[in-house]
Amino acid sequence: MKLSIATLACTILTAVNAYPGVYLCTDSGFTGTCVHIDHNRPGTCAHLGGDLGGKVSSVGPDNNAGRCLMFTGGDCDGDNYYSIFPGDPDLSTLYGGKYNDRIYSFKCGV
């Protein structure tokens, strides 16, 4: 059985993190600077800090995070798309690259 990098990374994170959340990386293929953001209050907005906001190129919601909306605005506003486990390893190929390096906030469990 072969696993993609995205599936493997998200599977490992799901096993380690007590709270559901999202794995975000600055480069495609879940590389570059990567951060897991816990999101233990479903339906609330999670804001990305200056180190990550507008720089995300791969998104991986945890298996137990449900559907996560990714927003171009910093307050869960603006254009959005939804992502589910195992996520999107290359935002430059999703919707013509519309969301690559443009994610500033997200909301899961919606």
Query: What residue has token string 């995070």?
Result: 65
46 DSSP β-pair partners? 106
Residue 86, domain extent = 5-108
C-beta separation of 80 from 18 below 8 A: no
- Checking if the pLDDT of 4 tops 80, the result is no
Beta strands 68-71 and 80-83, pairing class: antiparallel
Three-state DSSP at 35 gives strand
Count how many domains the chain has: 1
Contact 91, 100 (CB under 8 A): yes
Q: Model confidence over 18-77: pLDDT tens digits?
A: 678 999 999 999 999 999 999 878 889 999 988 899 999 999 999 999 999 999 999 999
* Cα atoms in the 13 Å half-sphere on the side-chain side of 81: 15
d(CA 98, CA 43): 24
More reliable by pLDDT, 57 or 16: 57
Q: CATH number for the domain including 63?
A: 2.60.20.10
| pTM of the model as a whole | 0.81
Distance of alpha carbon 87 from alpha carbon 24, whole angstroms: 10
**Containing H/E element for 26?**
strand 21-27
